[in-house]
Amino acid sequence: MDKQAVRQTLEQLGAFLQLKGESAFRVRAVQRAARSELLATGRSSALDELREQVPPGVAEMLRIPGLGAAKVRQIHESLAIDSLAELEAAAGDGRLATLPRFGAKTAENVRRGIASLRRASGLRLFHHALDESEAVQRALAGLENAGVLRVEIAGAVRRRCEVIGALDLVAVHEGGAARETLVRRLGQAPGVTEIAGREGCVTLRFASGTVVDVFLTTPDRFGLDWVRATGGPAHVLALETRARAMGVSWSTPFPDEPSLYRALGLAWVPPELREGDGELEAAANEGLPRLVEQGDLRGLLHCHSNYSDGTVTIADWATACRAAGYGWVGITDHSQSAPYAGGLGTAAVAQQHVEIDAVNARVSGVRVLKGVEADILADGTLDYGPDVLDRFDFVIGSIHSRFGMSEAEMTRRVLSAMDDPHLAILGHPTGRLLLQREPYAIDLEQILAKAVARGIAVEVNADPHRLDLDWRMVRRARELGVTLSIGADAHSTAGMTNVAVGLGIARKGWLEPDRVLNTRDAEGFLGFARARLVAAG
């Protein structure tokens, strides 16, 4: 690691410590200790663990020009804001300006800083890209008097990729002179500061920092152009190759996507699968999976209450999940080795379970299950003994510390934890935080093989900052016969929306409903979780 990289890492470490409220003396001491580790290994274990303790959305705020750690901490604590979207909304609606030492000028600077961050960022997380795309889609769909017939999201956002570069939309117009009218009106759309054109496409730059490529098409070519604007390069190339081989002309009218795939002798391919990795062969031979959908999910997994680092009560979770159509919810607060997250001591476990029983007796239509997210310690043990683990309906085991272990050490650590018959689900298996922290070194082939052998589910963590397991490994897990769960990793009821993001990753991994643990009813889920304990006697 060169000197500049060391300096930047130490600055980030200091900012995270300030967010945690550490003194200047403590900050300097940790930075001194981290310097030698960085020079020796290129990684700071202290920073890795702090990234686990600080909400990822709060960490993103540190990247806003002119907004330091002290103000980010003030915003988070005073307004309970932990995402860029929430911060942008608060800067626009006046809440930010009301904070001490802020005011209207600072709030406007924050809005400009977020716009600057968007302009400077070559990549953004899926949920940010989706929000931006939908906002532009709504703005352009309002141009009916300019001949806009339809506006659809395309590109990597429609394919549900975890990290997004370009934003792409397809706009349908009436053809002829309507195209020139539309281009002119696009440049006048709300928030547009710059427009540039090329054949069949215009690029719009917004004051918010968002840049979008808008592909212009007509109703008779919409299907073809939406496919082209959506598919990954390998998928589009494979379609073009197949069309040439079959003598299918692209000048043929294709008013919708199914008509194009039909002309090529293919079933319609779901957008998530359009990566050029065997989906056309499957589409030609009735081999495409029936991908899992939101309506298949019977229960919500991996959510934190105010017993640890969540913000809502057990009753809040029950009510929200019932309203969302779930039949059960698995509460999984942190265990005792996570004091930074308010991990539960044994007395708190007993208190929480009494409360869960009371909620189940009072709230009908949904069942609350007693779960825990137990830390997998460095030696591979779970951080409660069997007497405490026996009290839970199910256990998720996750790593939240010692990320710098070697691949062999980390693999042994997780394999050892998987020998514990209480472990039902392996949580966020690689520890990655997208655009913030690389996955820790681990042999996933061994982990997935043992998951099959032991009857352990592997989580697709739906927190948009994690999306862990990676979709490529989700597909590998599917091939090996692993059962997977979709975990919201939600710390408030608003975090239930994470499930939709996790579903995108599950679908990209070709998952069918019967491979997803959450599609089972409560008894089916509990049967899976208890099977190993029953077998162990």
DSSP state of 518: G
Residue 122 pLDDT greater than 90, yes or no: no
Reading the block at residue 324, the tokens are 């969302």
- pLDDT score of 241: 97
CB 432 within 8 A of CB 403: no
Pairing of strands 423-426, 457-461: parallel
Work out the number of other CB atoms within 10 angstroms of the CB of residue 66. Answer: 11
Q: Supply the pTM of this predicted model.
A: 0.91
Averaged pLDDT, 105-126:
86
The β-bridge relationship of strands 328-334 and 367-375 is: parallel
Which residue shows structure tokens 């990795």? 277
Determine the angle formed by the axes of helices 126-141 and 498-508, rounding to 10 degrees: 100
Are the beta carbons of 53 and 341 closer than 8 angstroms?
A: yes
Q: Could you tell me if 366 and 321 are in contact, meaning their C-beta atoms sit under 8 angstroms apart?
A: yes
Residue 498 has pLDDT above 70, yes or no: yes
Mean pLDDT for the chain overall: 93
| C-alpha neighbours within 13 Å on the C-beta side of residue 398 | 26
Q: Please report which residue ranges of 267-338 form alpha helices under DSSP H.
A: 279-284, 314-323
Q: Average pLDDT in the 274-286 region?
A: 97
Residues 238-266 pLDDT 10s: 999 999 999 999 999 999 999 999 999 99
Q: What angle do CA 117, 120, 123 make, to 5 degrees?
A: 90
Torsion, Cα 524 530 531 532, to 10 degrees, reads 150
Which residues are CB-neighbours of 533 under 8 A, at least 6 positions away?
421, 422
Q: Which residue has the higher pLDDT, 391 or 39?
A: 391
Q: What's the whole-number mean pLDDT along residues 314-330?
A: 97
Of the candidates 13, 4, 6, 5, which has an alpha carbon nearest to the alpha carbon of residue 36? 6
Question: Which residue from 66, 60, 48, 51 is spatially nearest to 20, judged by alpha carbons?
Answer: 51
The pLDDT, as a whole number, for residue 537 is 67
Tens digit of each residue's pLDDT (9 = 90 or more) over 297-319: 999 999 999 999 899 999 999 99
Average pLDDT over residues 495-513: 97
Rounded CA separation 100/98 (Å)? 7
Q: What is the mean pLDDT of residues 72-92?
A: 90
Q: What share of the chain is helix, strand, coil (3-state, %, to 5)?
A: 50, 15, 35
* Confidence band, pLDDT 50/70/90 cuts, at residue 348: very high
For residues 300 and 518, is the Cβ–Cβ distance under 8 A?
A: yes
Angle between helices 471-480 and 444-454 (to 10 degrees): 40
Residues with Cβ within 8 Å of residue 17, at least 6 apart in sequence: 26, 27, 30, 50
Whether pLDDT at 85 is above 70: yes
* Contact by Cβ (8 Å): 232, 275: yes
Q: In terms of residues, how long is the chain?
A: 537
Position 54 pLDDT exceeds 90: no
CA distance 531 to 536: 9
Between CA 466 and CA 430 the distance in angstroms is 9
pLDDT of residue 379: 96
Q: Which residues contact 56 (CB under 8 A, 6 or more apart)?
A: 433, 436, 463, 465, 466
Identity at 422, one-letter amino acid code: H
What SS3 state is found at 495? helix
190 pLDDT tier (thresholds 50, 70, 90): confident
- Mean pLDDT, range 504-515, rounded to an integer: 98
In the numeric block, the tokens 């710059």 are attached to 194
Q: Binning pLDDT at 50, 70 and 90, where does residue 452 land? A: very high
- The stretch 382-390 carries a mean pLDDT of 95
With both helix axes pointing from N to C terminus, report the angle between 84-93 and 103-120 in degrees, rounded to the nearest 10: 140
The DSSP 8-state label assigned to residue 289 in this structure reads -
Please state, in angstroms and rounded to a whole number, the distance separating the CA atoms of residues 529 and 520: 12
DSSP letters for 410-468: HHHHHHHHTTSTTEEEE-STT--BTTTBPPPP--HHHHHHHHHHHT-EEEEE--TTT-B
pLDDT (mean) for 488-510: 96
φ, ψ for residue 395, nearest 5 deg: -130, 125
In angstroms and rounded to an integer, the radius of gyration of the C-alpha atoms of the chain is 25
**DSSP secondary structure, 324-388, as one string:** TT-SEEEEEEEBTT-GGGTPBPHHHHHHHHHHHHHHHHH--S-EEEEEEEEEB-TTS-BSS-HHH
Q: What is the pLDDT of residues 151-185, one digit of tens each?
A: 999 999 999 999 999 899 999 998 877 788 888 88
pLDDT in tens, 415-447: 999 999 999 999 999 999 999 899 999 999 999
Q: How far apart are CA 507 and CA 106, in angstroms?
A: 42
- Between residues 207 and 90, which one has the greater pLDDT? 90
* Phi, psi dihedrals of residue 82, rounded to the nearest 5°: -140, 35
Domains (ranges, CATH) in the chain?
Answer: 3-121 (1.10.150.20), 122-230 (3.30.460.10), 237-288 (3.30.210), 294-536 (3.20.20.140)
